[in-house]
A and B are shown apart, each in its own frame.
Chain A
Amino acid sequence: MARAISTRRKATFTLVAWAIGIAIFFPILWTFLTSFKTEAEAIASPPSFLGFAWTTENYSVVMERSNYSRHFWNSVVISVGSTVIGLLIAIPAAWSMAFVPGRRTKDVLLWMLSTKMLPPVGVLIPIYLIFRDTGLLDTRTGLVIVLTLINLPIIVWMLYTYFKEIPGEILEAARMDGASLYNEIIYVLTPMAVPGIASTLLLNVILAWNEAFWTLNLTAAKAAPLTAFIASYSSPEGLFYAKLSAASTMAIAPIIVLGWFSQKQLVRGLTFGAVK
């Protein structure tokens, strides 16, 4: 395996890869830098990269003027809430499929995944009308319900693949040791699956945080999470680059950090196991 690689070759690869990496990352970096500029500097020509007077004023303005914290909190409640409820529904389901497989288990699993492939516009109108008539429009509850349902297949799928790796004998041992089904899941299965459950949680919080079809169509001012709040910068306020940047940075920073921790789970969760 190990073999000497010429330093020159390695240096070339390093240079090219870093150049491309920085280019791809640049829009995020630029947003981050702009968020510390004054509005005048943000649109200055030629633009300055680092040689500007750093200010955090934009952040305080965004926080003050726009109920930013409420939208942030909406995002947290909606993404975490839908994921946790999803997990509560999915853990028993995944237990069933992983440890008591029947002839139809595979079909059920595939069918669940197939619901994920239903395009949202196919059900936009009924959901909109049902929400309007039940008062769920522009409520966090409504969005939690929808996001739980659209991400449930991915949660079930991911947990299923993690549970499959736990040897059935351990659960049988628990049963022999006198554990009821409830105890078996609480004391044995769940603690053993904690890493898998955590990854599932992480990936789904990210997906729910960034979901931008239902959040845009089902909310107005009250329950709007950050996706919808940022969309309101579309015009003409978006021309205030520094403030747009500050709001954007706050909206994406936590999720990018979480995302970096979930690279592996991302592949697993979004390819449904088709790529290993």
Chain B
Amino acid sequence: MVTAHSRTAARLMISPAVVLLLGWMIIPLSMTIYFSFLRYNLLSPGMEEWAGLTNYRYFLTDPAFFAALTNTLLLVGGVLLITVVGGTALAVLLDQPMWGQGIVRILVIAPFFVMPTVSALVWKNMFMNPVNGLFAHAFKAVGLQPFDFLSHAPLMSIILIVSWQWLPFATLILLTAMQSLDQEQQEAAEMDGAGVLSRFIYLTIPHLTRAITVVILIQTIFLLSVFAEILVTTNGGPGTASTNLTYLVYAQSLLQFDVGGGSAGGIVAVILANIVAIFLMRMIGKNLDT
């Protein structure tokens, strides 16, 4: 079916997408790189001057950067831990025979469709609020002092909220993987005398490894960019206690108008994301061959 004619047509038809994405990637990214070498503040326009690596030096030696980096890693790591462990458990549970499985599934995946600002606000006000939140009511009911989650454990609270949003994703993907488990293989193992536990360890877990890796990689990409949840709950505070890299760059550039510093931070974020992306692309690429 491949003639010179259709090849020409194909090139023509793919070019809008390629050109747009190329533009989307190259133009702003090279501008960011360029800005990151400038002393450039939106409050003093026309004063831009070459700054070399100063922005990077400032950004990377800023204690806020270190805090943000730690917070980013804690946030990503914490959410991954909760969602992968919880997701695996839920997937195994939902794969068991039960009544109303479809409905339970619908209940479990619903949080994924809640927009980040809504979930953050609902959790912040209606659950974690130290006066009127449900948790405060619950604490009082058992005679405990209400806990101000967002002031005293801001990062933990955000991890909790984000985990709630992403647990459905992990569950759904791992459940899909569970359902492609070879039933005959399970039965063969049972005939060979493997118990429930050893079947889980030697058959189910290896089967899920691939799906778990995908969940980790994809979630990492999205979790590195968590933003709205922080913006509406803590604004990165108190201090920098819940500032991640994305929020730090946002604050630097759009709150302090420091384009140069913000750009340097943006490039650092791109580099970090690329490290994860390389692994993810390798996996996808391998899958395309088969």
Contact residues in B for A16 (Cβ distance below 8 Å):
93
| Complex partner residue of B115 from A22, A130, A255, A272, CB under 8 angstroms | A255
B185 to chain A, nearest CB (A): 13
| Complex partner residue of A24 from B98, B134, B164, B177, CB under 8 angstroms | B164
Question: Cβ of B227 and Cβ of A216 under 8 Å apart?
Answer: yes
> Among B151-159, B198-206, B245-253, which stretch is in contact with chain A?
B245-253
Rounded to whole angstroms, the CA-CA distance of A120 and B228 in the bound complex is 13
Number of chain A interface residues as a range:
35 or more
Interface code B94-119, partner A: CB below 8 Å = 1, 0 otherwise? 10111111011111111111111111
Contact residues in B for A181 (Cβ distance below 8 Å):
6, 9
With contacts A21-B108, A209-B115 taken as known, whether A230 is within 8 angstroms of B121 at the C-beta atoms is yes
Which of chain A's residues has its CB closest to B13's CB? A92
Which of chain A's residues has its CB closest to B253's CB? A125
Question: Cβ of A217 and Cβ of B250 under 8 Å apart?
Answer: yes
Rounded to whole angstroms, the CA-CA distance of A140 and B7 in the bound complex is 37
Rounded to whole angstroms, the CA-CA distance of A270 and B210 in the bound complex is 15
Rounded to whole angstroms, the CA-CA distance of A21 and B167 in the bound complex is 12
Contact residues in A for B125 (Cβ distance below 8 Å):
238-239, 241, 244
Question: Cβ of A17 and Cβ of B98 under 8 Å apart?
Answer: yes
Rounded to whole angstroms, the CA-CA distance of A90 and B276 in the bound complex is 26
Question: Cβ of A126 and Cβ of B122 under 8 Å apart?
Answer: no
Contact residues in A for B283 (Cβ distance below 8 Å):
274
Question: Cβ of A231 and Cβ of B273 under 8 Å apart?
Answer: no
With contacts A126-B28, A212-B117, A252-B114 taken as known, whether A121 is within 8 angstroms of B288 at the C-beta atoms is no
Interface code B198-236, partner A: CB below 8 Å = 1, 0 otherwise? 000000000000110010001001001101100110000
Rounded to whole angstroms, the CA-CA distance of A136 and B67 in the bound complex is 34
Interface code A244-274, partner B: CB below 8 Å = 1, 0 otherwise? 1100100110011011100100110011111
Q: Is chain B's interface secondary structure helix, strand, loop, or mixed overall?
A: helix
Contact residues in B for A152 (Cβ distance below 8 Å):
17, 20-21
Question: Cβ of B250 and Cβ of A124 under 8 Å apart?
Answer: yes
Contact residues in B for A241 (Cβ distance below 8 Å):
125-126, 132
Interface code B110-153, partner A: CB below 8 Å = 1, 0 otherwise? 11111111110111111100011010010011000000000000
| Complex partner residue of B14 from A13, A97, A172, A267, CB under 8 angstroms | A97
Contact residues in A for B177 (Cβ distance below 8 Å):
275
Question: Cβ of B93 and Cβ of A231 under 8 Å apart?
Answer: no
| Complex partner residue of B214 from A30, A110, A248, A275, CB under 8 angstroms | A275
Question: Cβ of B1 and Cβ of A124 under 8 Å apart?
Answer: no
Which of chain B's residues has its CB closest to A1's CB? B183
Question: Cβ of B115 and Cβ of A117 under 8 Å apart?
Answer: no
Question: Cβ of A113 and Cβ of B281 under 8 Å apart?
Answer: yes
Besides A125-B253, A129-B259, A216-B117, 10 other A-B contacts (C-beta < 8 A): A10-B98, A13-B97, A17-B93, A95-B13, A99-B10, A117-B273, A119-B246, A123-B32, A130-B28, A275-B214
Chain B residues at the A interface, C-beta cutoff of 8 Å: 1-2, 6-7, 9-11, 13-14, 16-18, 20-21, 24-25, 27-29, 31-32, 35, 90, 93-94, 96-101, 103-119, 121-127, 131-132, 134, 137, 140-141, 164, 167-169, 172-173, 176-177, 180, 183, 210-211, 214, 218, 221, 224-225, 227-228, 231-232, 245-246, 249-250, 253-254, 259, 262-263, 265-267, 269-270, 272-274, 276-277, 280-281, 283-285, 287-289
Chain A residues at the B interface, C-beta cutoff of 8 Å: 1, 5, 9-10, 13-14, 16-18, 20-22, 24-25, 27-28, 30-31, 34, 43, 45-47, 89-90, 92-93, 95-97, 99-100, 102, 106, 108-110, 112-130, 149, 152-153, 156, 168, 171-172, 175, 181, 206, 209-210, 212-213, 216-217, 226-228, 230-231, 233-234, 238-239, 241, 244-245, 248, 251-252, 255-256, 258-260, 263, 266-267, 270-276
6 contacts between A and B (CB under 8 A): A34-B126, A121-B245, A124-B250, A241-B125, A274-B210, A275-B173
